[in-house]
Structure 1
Amino acid sequence: MAEAVLGDHERYSCSICLDLLKDPVTIPCGHSYCMSCISEYWNIEDQRGPYSCPQCRHAFYSRPSLNRSTVLAEIMEKLRDTALQGSESAQNLAGPGDIGCDFCTGRQLKAVNSCLECLASYCETHVHPHYNVPALKKHKLVKAAIMPTCSKHDKLLEVYCRTDHKCVCMHCLMDDHKGHDTVPCMIERNEKQIKLADKKKKLKQTIQRKEEELLRMKTDINTHSCSAKKAVQNSKRAFTELVRLIDMRSTEMIEKIKAQEKADLDQGAKLQKNLEVNITELKKREDVLETLLQTDDNIYFLQNYEPLSSSSGSDDFPSTSFKPCCSYVDISKLVYELKERLQIVFNQEISETSKKVSDLVPKNTQVCIKVGERVRVKPSVHTPKYEWGRNVTHESVGLVKDIKGDDGLVVEFPGHTNWRGMLSEMELVTDVDYCDPTNITIGSRVCVKASTDTPQCDWGNVTKNSVGIFKGKCLDISVILPCNQHLTALSFNGNTIDNLAIINK
């Protein structure tokens, strides 16, 4: 029965705040309220007139005194214990990452408030003394949080020391941080929060700018991809049309050859037929002459001799021969020569087009050239942007001294120390191989190895950038360098030249 009564929470709720009674008081009409709720209600009625009960509207001509109802308060404590048991079943136990109540024994519940004076955290049940006990009512409660305390004085960190850039407690101001520039943590936080908000704003602008760059990059990549696909399509179309043109011209040529062949064959057949008729006629005459020669009748012979002897047959049938308009051997030769010329022109044009495509690539590709590396002008570059300068050619190998901006650089070439150029015009000298004496021969272009700090016979007027012609004689090696400089007597280490590297063209 008692449990049923205690379980009816609505009977013990304040009709003003609709929550369980806190510091319950019973007014003369018999209704109960939270002490703070009825006090605030009557504070408002001080200006309106007589005091009344919020539920039954019973009026009081003077403000009744409020005394805490001890029995009702005990009932409230039991109800809260019952609510606590229900809250445990409602998963209010403190878990990983939660702040637990410092006063719970056994299973620890989640803390709902933390006290800045007690430096402790409380669950919903254990925080109530801070509402009931007069001495605890003065404490400042905040939302449950980890209480930052001083490791030396075990006091709340409330002050920020600008001198040492750290949070300290009030006792530290009289100890290690005496005389330092200090401010309340809230003030320092507000100032730093403004700076952090400004930094966040700038970061957001940077993110927005980068997202715009990403969008532009995606657009550029898609445009570039579409351009490449279009170039492939145009190339296929151009070569298809070229093949179609060649096929068409080939068909025309073949048809002309066949037509001429037919005309020539028709003419030859006609001549052949006429010649066969002439031969038949001549054979008939031959038979008549043979008959006349074989006759024994002298009178017959003499009478027919004159008509037959007046024509021998050669004049009546002039000589004929087959003479075509052209020689197909010559046509084959002409077609073959045309094929050779087209092949030469085609290869040259394709090579030029490929070279132009290769020259376009560095304009959009980052050139990985660093200060201190050996470079030379690309063979495809006919005239550098800032001209050749003194003694600089495609064969010149120089040392990068400085890189200016996105595409400019300064190179030290033999005979030209501060040559200006563009990164897109240069290529790394990757064909410098360190060779043994069997590969270095008289006349080889050589330089001093990059790994050589000081040659055995010193540098003289020679630098690592110097490129010379090798003139070796046994152990006394002489290298003729530009401006008649010499680097002589380089030593051998066994069968290997220590200091030289060959430069292949």
Structure 2
Amino acid sequence: MAEAILGDHDQYSCSICLDLLNDPVTIPCGHSYCTSCINECWNTTDNKGTYKCPQCRHAFNSKPPLNRNTILAEIMEQLRLRTKLHESEAAQSLAGPGEIACDFCAGEVFKAVKSCLECRASYCETHVHPHYNVPALKKHKLVKATVMPICSKHDKLLEVYCRTDEVCVCMHCLMDDHKGHDTVPSTIERGEKQTKLTDTQTKVKQTIHAKEKELQKMKMDITSHSDSAKEAVKNSTRVFTELAKFIEKRSNDVIEKIKAQEKADLDQGAKLQEKLEGEITELKKREGVLETLLQTDDNIHFLQNYESVSSSSGSNGFPSCSFKPCCSYTDVSKLACELKERLVTVFKQEINETFKKDIYSDESLVVDFPGSWKGILSEMEPVTDDDECGSPAHNCFKVGNRVSIRPSVKEPKHGWGSITHNSIGVIKKIQGESLIVDFPEQIEWTGVLSEMELVSSDVSEPLSLSPGSRVRVKPTISTPAQGWGSVTKHSIGVVVGKCYWPVRLC
């Protein structure tokens, strides 16, 4: 109902303030006013016992009641809301700084939405309608609102491209400064350059994809390196905890050094990662510029900006970088084990001198099946390549095999890391054609089976159960001294280290 009668604003104006009624009230004569306006009028006037209507001058002997006009108040609210909405829409459509304005607007100039290449003018939503309805104007070329490309010399539309001077020209220029030059319609040149620019965009996308893969690999390398650092901390803690309390401080020192080195390496990795992410961001920005130019309808705008965005494909602008930690934590664990064995030997001699009745009856081994498992040396037997494959030369890879890189392999698929052709490691895990090998120079090195060869044991020499040797529980042992755990008689493990168990005879 309110919408049906909202028309002339004047009929809803207060005759006192001349503005839209605010909190309207109606007096007995039927006229309506703002509550504050009628109160102020009657309070400031010398009424002499009578109150008059400001419009009809009808007099009342006493101050009449002011009854709020609910329906009129609702109409006022609707009118105010509609007025604000129209003002908001108009403000949003007005052409702002740097925006293309409609050439046909009078008074308030609205933002143009289309430009006509034939009329050489830009139109707002209202003024562009004739180009959709008038038959003669329907044939005109409409593009997204843009600055008209006009020849500064002849005041004509730029529609030809001069390949000789690499500039856009008008038809009059062909008979003047560019006479005899190699010229083509802008649409043809646009098509050829768009093909080249599309190729450039493809290269940029390929570069982005390669950089993202490089970033993903770097994240994995950083995570793996962090895990390696944490494992080194764990191993060092385990080794030093087994020693006497007086070396506990040294254990903490080593752990702190590992963590400090880890932090330094991770800081380096974070900087490299941030750099790589920045390169990807820049490439994506460049791709966005290319995409915007490729999507433009304005041939002249395309051609004028082609050189600036196609000068470099972006493929060679950023050199590749990789995460290269300052050090490997393998040496830390190795040194800790060697220190433990030296200390154990010293402790054994001192304890023998101090406690005459305490002797060490046997050595024990720490074996990875995988998973640390302890067993008595006398309960174990070595496993050779002949035991598993029938012949040392037979290419039969098993967990625990000692392997090296084939001499014919110049560059392993996953890189050398810290190893060389002379490095000999032990297979820790096999997954399809890939395998994980622990080398003295680098643990958990990843390679492929076709790049590896078995390192045979020399049967002419007695087999010693040293770290790296493959072993299993002897068939004659029914129950190992330390229990089976998850190990069976068919399990084959790798010796990680040795230790000694004291047995008190008294």
TM-score surpassing 0.5? no
TM-score scaled by structure 1?
Answer: 0.31
Largest Rg, 1 or 2:
1
TM-score scaled by structure 2?
Answer: 0.31
Give the structure, 1 or 2, with the largest relative contact order (CA under 8 Å, sep 6 or more). 2
